[in-house]
Structure 1
Amino acid sequence: MNRFENKVALVTGGRSGIGRAIARRLREEGAEVITAQRGEDDEFESIKADFSDPHTPEKIVAEVISRKGQLDVLINNAGMMQEAGIEEMSIEDWQRNITVNLTAPFLLIRAALPYLRKSKGSIVNTGSTEGLAANPNHAAYCVSKSGLHGLTRSVAVDHGHEGIRCNAVAPGWIDTDLNIDMIENSSDAEAFRRNIGRIHPVGRSGTPEEVAALVAFLAAEEAGFITGQVYTVDGGRMTQLSLP
């Protein structure tokens, strides 16, 4: 398929994990892809970006337009997670989590709107199942992802009449390099894998490519009547009740 032929896509956090899978999928389907993250991308044309700096998003969009002259697809995927209880988290750490996970996507969308308006473009945000529920000591992450889901709906409502669509995916446990390393470095990797399988009705964790497939569909014109939605990609984990 060439659903993104002659289209330009910006993928934040596209150098690894889910972001890398999304960037590859969009490229396979014809898009010119630019990634944005802290370091250089050895596979894609990229922009160095510090998303804790509120001036960064506008500069990134301006750079994309300078290089390509258009922007058709915006994927807000970059994020961070810091484990800390509410009493232990400093205001500085709290604010950094909110800035990277929520304020940066807001600013990127705001900067991109004039160009997405021209192209009748699409936005897909990477939320999380933790925007719908919570794991221990993840308050800042949960709040930021819940807010990102709300931002998704607001953008869809405010800009749908301009031909701009905005959706989100909410991945659960995905086999990124970071999560795989966590398993391998645990005290009992085999037990960890068994436990991960038990909490998913499909019996396994997900792959970045499975998330990327949904992102590509939502960004494509064939999903033209879908907007303002948050799609959970979690192998049924959020659906399954715990045993009594």
Structure 2
Amino acid sequence: MTLNIDLTNRRAIVTGVSSGIGAGIALALAQAGCDVAGCAAEPADSDGAARFVASAEREGRRAFYQAADLADGAAARAFAAWGAERLGGVDIVVSNAGRNYNVGAAGCDDDDWRANLDLNLAAHWRVAQAAKPWLDQAAQPVVIVIASNHAFFTIPNSFPYNVAKAGLPALVQSLALEWGPHVRAVGVAPGFIDTPMNVEWFGRFADPQAKRAQVERLHPVGRIGTPAEVGALCAFLCSPLAGFISGTTILIDGGRSAVMQDS
């Protein structure tokens, strides 16, 4: 076994590819040799969709994009089937798409609750379930579920987002137990990653750069993470090098979870 991450000619479906972590994952898989079918909420003629397709094609790989509202169960399942058909099969599923629903336990109403669970929990199961027939026919198939550090630790007013994320490690365990040994299932739980959403969050403060510096100091590595780093971890987990990793969720948070109390 060599230490090269070689996913040449493997076929991946990835959700939430138009920006941020999903874009980083799709690019990393393409760089490792994957053809990729991706989706996001943005229309097919959006800049995010165009960037996704162009980034994979620059690596010499095939890329297909579909707009999909994954909070809708039928749409989530239809995307998985569409992606498999366009690729001619599926070897890798990376279920990444999600959205923050941070309204607090007191302010959360039934609509917030349902929308959060549909997108941030149920969609991951639906996409994986719809891809299962193709995974059964693949060699060494892998399902990666993108959770969050909120699956393990949270902060005030992150409800109900944190509840959905906390369910994802259990989903990963069930997929690994019930679909193994043929299919491996692994969760990835990113912490504070440099995405457009977080850039927008910094922009809410009077001094965005000062707020960013404060957040970076909270991390033992002295910075926040990048989508490329999450993508690199996913590419590794999809490779034979990670063949003994299944049923667990891996934190990628710059050491933030190791801190007992901020100074």
RMSD: 1.4
Q: Residues of 1 paired with 2:141 and 2:248: CA distance? A: 16
Q: Residues of 2 paired with 1:167 and 1:50: CA distance? A: 24
- Per-residue deviation, 1:9: 0.5
Aligned match of 2:27: 24
Aligned match of 2:151: 131
Aligned match of 2:60: none
Q: Residues of 2 paired with 1:243 and 1:196: CA distance? A: 11
- Report matched runs for 1:1-244 at 5 Å: 3-39=6-42, 40=44, 41-42=49-50, 43-44=52-53, 45-119=64-138, 120-161=140-181, 163-243=182-262
Q: Deviations over 1:167-213 (max 9, x none)?
A: 01111111112212221341122321221122101111111111111
TM-score (normalised: structure 2): 0.89
Q: Residues of 2 paired with 1:171 and 1:243: CA distance? A: 20
User: Is there any run of 5+ residues in structure 1 with no aligned partner, and where?
Assistant: none
Aligned match of 2:56: none
Q: Residues of 2 paired with 1:148 and 1:225: CA distance? A: 20
Partner SS, residue 256 of structure 2? coil
Q: Residues of 1 paired with 2:35 and 2:216: CA distance? A: 37
Partner SS, residue 143 of structure 2? strand
Q: Deviations over 1:10-35 (max 9, x none)?
A: 11001100100100010011100111
Partner SS, residue 168 of structure 1? strand
Q: Deviations over 1:111-150 (max 9, x none)?
A: 1111112113101111000010112211111111111111
Partner SS, residue 111 of structure 1? helix
Q: Structure 1 vs Structure 2: percent identity of aligned residues?
A: 35
Q: Residues of 1 paired with 2:230 and 2:247: CA distance? A: 18
- Per-residue deviation, 1:243: 4.8
CA contact (8 A) 2:84 2:131 kept: no
Greater Cα offset, 226-235 or 2-11: 2-11
Q: Residues of 2 paired with 1:115 and 1:75: CA distance? A: 14
Q: Deviations over 1:66-121 (max 9, x none)?
A: 22220010000000112212121110111100000110111111111111121131
Q: How many residues align?
A: 243
- Per-residue deviation, 1:2: 6.0
